[in-house]
């Protein structure tokens, strides 16, 4: 890990989420990053001409650089993508109109199988990590392919490029083509353990990169494999777990046909020791009240992927996100990658709102189903950090947390396609214009742990 002095100060508009329903907007704010890349202080209402005096009183490193952000620029926490298939980067948007299991067979599996070639993995994963950082994703939970060597390459690239990440070898020993599945359960578990050891070797304290257990879903895993992964989860009590959960009607029916002793996926995964406070469950679109209550009781997290849910799978699958939040379930946003068409967290935020509006119209239960702008911003930042287990380190700008942040620029000079600013726009309006109409061209700089990893 690099140990260079990361002292820096930022002055201007600073925005972050302090709770699910609270969006904190600070004007004339001064945020100071210490040499280790942690937030030393955050204070509002400091005029620009008083910044040097204030910095001197805080006793930062002499010559600490200061970024003054004019109107139209502001600082927000880095985005957290809670569900992303890294080997699907090249085939995003392909196979629209297919149901999920047909899409896997015809599009995803053939493309993922190419990661048997380490040189292919090196080239594509370099693009993935750079592309995600460019779009402001400072933390990502990655599904790798089934290949151990390629998964280790992905972890190496995340560490070298400075992206915070969970990385997991995808376990799949059945219901996939012969050319793309583990030979048997024992091989799948052994390759997983090898990847765990590799990641613990390159980042022993898990400061940036951590391993995540990754059974693709029960359709691709026999009971013996799920049981073995549950044993690993018990052996490593801090290790996160990720899988697909109730993604579509087709997927759910196939799963319960393979495991007839269970009537729902919550009991299935819990039986094998794979549901707990470290679990990251992708999609969760078709939920019973029982399953929602079980996820809440077990403190699982949900990776909500609205773009993918509306484009692949055989239907408009709008997850009951508001119901999750009402039940106290952790929810973050995911881009999914090939299952949708976009790797943009801004798209995920926009589509989360749109899907919830549709759900609000269609849902006959008591209580509104639409999510608020504040809730969406929370899911993209602090909520996502909670889901992937990095919330003690990142997610907002609390003193002592590590500085993962984006400098956003929505001025005309930035050259993006966002709605232009007006002289009387409030800060809240400026933020909404970025979230709802901006793109990666508006992300001027990206920082992880105080280190600039993209931009100027």
Whether 141 has a pLDDT exceeding 60, the answer reads yes
Share of the chain above pLDDT 90, in %: 88
Question: Domain residues of the chain, as ranges?
Answer: 8-77+399-455, 79-388
**Report field, pTM of the whole predicted structure over 0.85:** yes
When pLDDT is cut at 50, 70 and 90, the band that residue 1 belongs to is very low
Place of tokens 């926490």: 77
Rg (CA), the chain: 22
**Selection from 90, 80, 99 nearest residue 337 by Cα:** 90
The CA-atom distances, in angstroms, between 381 and each of 20, 311, 342, 354, 420 are 10, 24, 18, 19, 25
Instruction: Report the C-alpha gap between 185 and 171 in whole angstroms.
Output: 9
Q: What is the per-residue pLDDT across 78-130, written as a single tens digit (0 to 9) for each?
A: 999 999 999 999 999 898 888 888 999 999 999 999 999 999 999 999 999 99
**Torsion angle in degrees (nearest 10) through CA of 256, 257, 261, 265:** -10
- Name the class of domain 79-388: alpha beta
**Average pLDDT for the chain:** 95
Share of the chain above pLDDT 70, in %: 98
Beta-bridge partner residues of 139: 80, 164
Place of tokens 């970025």: 434
- Cβ atoms of 351 and 310 closer than 8 Å: yes
Q: What is the pLDDT of residue 62?
A: 79
State both tokens at 432. Answer: 């909404």
* Contacts with 128 (C-beta within 8 Å, 6 or more apart), sequence order: 86, 89, 154, 157
List the Cα angle 206/302/153 in 5-degree steps.
35
- Name the class of domain 8-77+399-455: mainly beta
């Amino acid at each position: 890990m690099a140990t260079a002095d990361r002292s820096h100060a930022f002055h201007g508009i600073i925005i972050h989420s302090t709770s699910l329903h609270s969006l904190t907007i600070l004007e004339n704010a001064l945020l100071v990053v210490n040499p280790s890349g942690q937030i030393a202080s955050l204070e509002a209402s400091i005029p620009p001409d008083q910044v040097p005096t204030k910095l001197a009183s805080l006793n930062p490193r002499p010559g600490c650089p200061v970024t003054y952000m004019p109107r139209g620029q502001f600082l927000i926490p880095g985005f957290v993508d809670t569900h992303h298939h890294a080997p699907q980067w090249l085939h995003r948007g392909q196979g629209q109109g297919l149901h999920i299991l047909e899409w896997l067979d015809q599009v995803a599996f053939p493309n993922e199988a190419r990661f048997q070639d380490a040189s292919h993995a090196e080239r594509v994963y370099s693009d993935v990590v750079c592309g995600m950082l460019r779009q402001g994703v400072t933390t990502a939970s990655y599904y790798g392919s089934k290949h151990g060597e390629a998964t280790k390459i992905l972890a190496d690239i995340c560490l070298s490029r400075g992206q915070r990440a969970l990385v997991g070898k995808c376990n799949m020993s059945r219901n996939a083509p012969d050319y793309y599945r583990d030979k048997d359960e024992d091989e799948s578990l052994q390759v997983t353990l090898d990847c765990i050891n590799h990641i613990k070797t390159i980042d022993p304290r898990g400061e940036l990169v951590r391993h995540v257990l990754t059974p693709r879903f029960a359709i691709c895993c026999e009971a013996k494999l799920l049981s073995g992964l549950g044993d690993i989860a018990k052996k490593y009590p801090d290790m996160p777990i990720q899988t697909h959960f109730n993604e579509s009607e087709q997927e759910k029916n196939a799963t319960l046909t393979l495991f007839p002793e269970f009537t729902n996926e919550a009991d299935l995964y819990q039986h094998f020791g794979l549901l707990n406070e470290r679990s990251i469950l992708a999609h969760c679109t078709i939920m019973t009240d029982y399953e929602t209550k079980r996820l809440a009781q077990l403190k699982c997290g949900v990776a909500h992927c609205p773009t993918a849910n509306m484009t692949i799978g055989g239907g408009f699958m709008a997850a009951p996100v508001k119901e999750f939040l009402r039940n106290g379930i952790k929810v973050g946003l995911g881009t999914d990658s090939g299952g949708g068409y976009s790797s943009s967290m801004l798209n995920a935020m926009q589509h989360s709102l749109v899907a919830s509006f549709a759900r609000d119209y269609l849902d006959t239960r008591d209580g509104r189903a639409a999510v608020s702008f504040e809730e969406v911003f929370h899911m993209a930042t602090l909520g996502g950090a909670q889901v992937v287990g990095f919330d003690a380190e990142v997610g907002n700008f609390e003193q002592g947390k590590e500085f993962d942040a984006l400098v956003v620029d929505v001025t005309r000079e930035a050259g993006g396609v966002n709605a232009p600013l007006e002289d009387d726009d409030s800060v809240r309006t400026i933020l909404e214009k970025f979230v709802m109409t901006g793109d990666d061209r508006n992300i001027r700089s990206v920082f992880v742990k105080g280190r600039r990893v993209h931009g100027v």
